Structure 1
Amino acid sequence: MGLESFLNKSLAGRVLLEVFNWYPSHLPQAERSLLRKLDRSILVFACLSFFCKFLDQSNITNAWVSGMEEEIHAKPNDLNYYNVAYYTAYVVGQIPMLMVQSRPSIAPYWLPSLEIVWAVLTFCESRVQTSTHLYIIRALVGFFEAPSFAGTHFILGSWYKKEELYKRAGVWFMGNSLGSMFSGYLQAAAYTNLNGVHGLSGWRWLFIIDGVITLPIAAIGFTFFPGLPASKRPWYMTEEEHQLAKDRLPKDHKQAGPLNLDVVKRTLSKPLWYICVAIYVGLIQSSYWTGYMALWLKAEAPRYTVQMINILPTFVNLLAAASSWLGTTFAAIVPTWIMMTGANGLVLFATIVLTVWHVPDGLKFFAFYIGGGVGAGMISPILYSWVNVTARGDPEARALIMGSMMTAGYCTYIWVPLFTFPTVEAPTFPHGYPASIGFTVGLWAFLMLGIFMYRNKNHDGSDNRLVRDEEATSSEVDSITKEDSSSPSHLVSEKHHHGIPVGDIVPLGKEDVFGAEAAGTASNI
């Protein structure tokens, strides 16, 4: 009996396999080799690109609390309006830019080209003299960053099987948190070591350094990013590997066709679009506060220095990075509804504490770190992986749903925080934290509705249990040939993406660790 078979006998063993075993031994050697190439090309560039996106996105708040507000004579609420400019353009560019990203002939070059644009605009931010300059540049940054999040998730969902997608999405999503975290450290270092060098303030050096970091990542993208499976064969893949990348995907995992009015009508006629949009609106609004820890610390000055104001919030991002990785890993073992309920419970607890506000500072730190880091950190990567898998049979609808989620979510991001989280009400935000409680509850309710509505359905209404049976049978046959034929009680097969195993290595005739749910209502959401 192999180590992999032994570990699959217990829940703890399965968790270890999900964390560390990215290339299962039951896969053919050619497929394991292909997966390694995909990870070294798609995942490396995606992580670096996402890191830079959030480095660029977070630097505005770090610059604000590090002297920019005073130097450009900004008004108290201008930080809100910078975000309004950014997200208005982000919304406008979302769907059209994502549709461009979904074209096989353009996909390999689209995101790397945008990296260059982001770098140039970041350099421009280092030279602003007024809020008007910053409004214009932030709008341009928002427009050209529009396809980075949903577009990358679309690419990941186009290459990887459902059981491979979750852990990779979690690693990729760590770039979000690490970018935000690194921006805090970078600003603290720039303020300490570069403030006044060549007549430039520390916050201006932050933008310059961000731009310098971004440019080499564009070169990596042009060299290695493969685009879509239907795109031109990457130079580092053989013809056989490129064909295998297409052939190994499940039968219901289709490649994108042209987007037209029929696609829009088809997508809007199904409840999944409405459910996903409502979920993402709730997510955007329920987690808005997670980036405002620095405003609380600044209000407590001089108790906290500029360096501390930049560094202490980075632990939110550190926890979010860890939770996004571990959360998506556990999502391959534990049912999605349990993972999402736990994560939303942490966010709910944190927002209740911050609504009360008059609590010890230690409890406020705990709320920001646990709710903003651990809780909020795992919701988004699990959510988008769920959407990727649920709509995998209709790639045009999948792209439209993801783009619509971002568009609708950030449409509300533009104006709702002006009433819930105006900067002039920092740090207590008497309207914002109570509103976040309501959005958190609503988010959870729509999540549960979607998960249980689609537990045995694909987006097009077909029964995905038939597909699972075919996939499970295929992988079981491959596995049995590699196992001792005298031990028929152990079968290696694909795992259900949200943790309800389908033919996992378990003794035949015994209930799975999740009992009746795994046996009778497992879904391929």
Structure 2
Amino acid sequence: MGVLTRAKKNKVVAVIISVFDWYPSHYPIEERKLLRKLDLAILIYGCLSFFCRFLGQQNVTNAYVSGMKEDLNAYGNELNYYVVAYNTAYVFGQIPLMTLQTKAKIAPFLLPSLQISWAIIAFCQSQVTKNWHLYLLRALTGFLEASSFGGTHLILGSWFKNEELFKRAGVWFMGNSLGSTFSGYFQVATYRGLNGVFGYTGWQWLFIVQGIITLPLAFVGFGVWPGLPTSPRRWYLTVEEHALAVKRIPTVEKEGITWQTFKYTLSRPMWWICVPCYIFLCQSFYWTGYMQLWLKSTGKSVELINILPTFIDLLKALSSWLGTTLAGCLSLRGIWTFQASLTFFSVIVLSIWTVPDALKYMAYYFGGFSGMASPILYSWLNSTLKENYGERGLIISSMMTMGFAMQIWVPLFTFPTVEAPRFPHGYPACVAFLFTMWAILVFGSWFMKRWKLKNPDLEMRLALGLSDDGETSETPREATKGQEEGLSKNTAATVQ
């Protein structure tokens, strides 16, 4: 212990230790035991669920370049339209499904139930014979996946303290990139080993095996997914551990999203910071999945088209973990600027386009550093508004709604498939999107730190339905039973 204490006096060593020290020695034994159980339940299932979702998303692109394009006669902008169908339904599903996710009794069972539907749809996608079949199935998938991303972020922010959250969010987000990575290698394996088996092509087997992987994992979720701390206690937590989990992160609001949530959320600055930032984030990194189209235009084999882009996803996985962890340990704005700088280089190179292929490879691979942007943004939101389920849930779902609402139509102008792989309008537009995204979060994090210092007890007044001057508002919210009695005890704990 003495050696470790002395080592921590060195700033570099202290950061390295912090990255891997998930269960600090200064925590009581009971709290460390609780954290281990939460990690096993939330992170393992959360990562596997996220893996399945993004495996399915990447499978559509991989299938498109591996024979589905020719089988469905999709030689126009059909790939764009698959994305539009998904994103349109994804937008409409955000707030309804997130509202369910903020309800304590429903939260433990919502994600596993939705995952069963993902598996069924994957099987159906293997049988499509016309493009409109896939449009319909992608739309249905988009609606049923709407709360998986934001809802899991909500769960992470509800169980883990700020100093614990960034590390775990980064690890969880790796499921995105690893799902995409696995899909590339998986497509090669199915193309070689299963193409023609039982009369199904390689791209059809890709969807079939996706369903086979996704379905049993859904039933794992019914057993371990905890929902919110205010949800009924799960079997693996003792009464004392569940009480400790609730006590660790006191909340002033337990009803979830209600009509009143819209009023007070829109009257505060976080919605107006996070939603525009995420809109520009979605547009800034849309191009990172298009390396395959460039490789296809160069005449590369199916194997190389599917394998070479996986290095982008591996870098996304690594950067999402390490970058998000360092944002929690060091400087959020510093790490945010680092990732923005590398991806800024990428879009400038691709905007020029007439550069050596080696530089194009570097630009596409540097796009992997975009992997840390989303988990940093959502972790910052969760840590800033930790006391309020409803406000966090509404902002997260609003980010997804507005971000993907823009993604429905903007790429039709910036990245139409018929302009692949050059995209003369898309890459220059991303230069502007990226700079704006960076500026919003840098300013927003500076502003919110000062805003919260000036309004340390605002959460308490909101929970009781009070106006800023302490008088009862015209449309007060009822505090949950016993909440008023505990406010004086929790005030100091909730102001972090």
Common topology (TM > 0.5): yes
Aligned to 2:234: 234
Paired with 1:459 and 1:397, the residues of 2 have a C-alpha distance of 19
SS at match of 1:137: helix
Contact preservation (8 Å) 1:112, 1:222 = yes
Deviations 1:16-35 (A, max 9, x none): 22222110111000000000
Contact preservation (8 Å) 2:349, 2:360 = yes
Distance 1:32 1:457, change over 3 A: farther
Q: CA deviation at 1:391?
A: 1.4
For residue 277 of structure 2, the aligned residue among 279, 284, 288 is 279
Aligned to 1:22: 22
Aligned to 2:202: 202
2:337 counterpart letter in structure 1? T
Paired with 1:98 and 1:266, the residues of 2 have a C-alpha distance of 18
Aligned to 2:327: 331
Aligned to 1:224: 224
Deviations 1:94-125 (A, max 9, x none): 11101101111011110011110000000000
SS at match of 1:278: helix
Paired with 1:130 and 1:460, the residues of 2 have a C-alpha distance of 58
For residue 373 of structure 1, the aligned residue among 349, 368, 372 is 368
Distance 1:460 1:115, change over 3 A: farther
Contact preservation (8 Å) 2:256, 2:393 = no
Q: CA deviation at 1:445?
A: 1.1
Aligned to 2:294: 296
Contact preservation (8 Å) 1:270, 1:459 = no
Superposition map of 1:421-500 within 5 A? 421-458=415-452, 461-462=455-456
Aligned to 1:256: 254
Aligned to 1:509: none
Distance 1:132 1:399, change over 3 A: same
Q: CA deviation at 1:463?
A: 7.2
Aligned to 2:404: 410
Paired residues in the alignment total 460
Contact preservation (8 Å) 2:257, 2:393 = no
2:87 paired with 1:91? no
Contact preservation (8 Å) 2:159, 2:245 = yes
1:307 counterpart letter in structure 2? E
SS at match of 1:23: coil
Contact preservation (8 Å) 2:102, 2:256 = no
Aligned to 2:469: none
Q: Give TM-score scaled by structure 1 length.
A: 0.86
Paired with 1:238 and 1:413, the residues of 2 have a C-alpha distance of 44
Aligned to 2:78: 78
Deviations 1:313-361 (A, max 9, x none): 0000000000011011111222111111111111111000000001111
2:132 paired with 1:132? yes
1:403 counterpart letter in structure 2? S
2:24 counterpart letter in structure 1? P
RMSD value, Cα:
1.5
Paired with 1:35 and 1:90, the residues of 2 have a C-alpha distance of 32
Paired with 2:5 and 2:95, the residues of 1 have a C-alpha distance of 45
Superposition map of 1:306-345 within 5 A? 306-345=302-341
Aligned to 1:346: 342
Aligned to 2:463: none
Q: Unaligned regions of 5+ residues in structure 2, if any? A: 459-494
1:379 counterpart letter in structure 2? A
Contact preservation (8 Å) 2:273, 2:440 = yes
Deviations 1:231-277 (A, max 9, x none): 1111011100110111122x4x4453242232111111112101111
Aligned to 2:360: 364
Superposition map of 1:14-53 within 5 A? 14-53=14-53
Contact preservation (8 Å) 1:128, 1:134 = yes
SS at match of 1:256: coil
1:106 counterpart letter in structure 2? I
Paired with 1:257 and 1:74, the residues of 2 have a C-alpha distance of 47
Superposition map of 1:183-202 within 5 A? 183-202=183-202
Contact preservation (8 Å) 1:186, 1:206 = yes
Q: Unaligned regions of 5+ residues in structure 1, if any? A: 465-522
Paired with 2:455 and 2:136, the residues of 1 have a C-alpha distance of 44
Aligned to 1:178: 178
Aligned to 1:65: 65
Contact preservation (8 Å) 1:18, 1:332 = no
SS at match of 1:453: helix
Paired with 2:33 and 2:345, the residues of 1 have a C-alpha distance of 44
1:363 counterpart letter in structure 2? L
Paired with 2:145 and 2:354, the residues of 1 have a C-alpha distance of 38
More helix per residue: 2
Q: Give TM-score scaled by structure 2 length.
A: 0.91
1:36 counterpart letter in structure 2? R
For residue 269 of structure 1, the aligned residue among 255, 267, 270 is 267
Aligned to 1:11: 11
Aligned to 1:514: none
Paired with 1:86 and 1:399, the residues of 2 have a C-alpha distance of 21
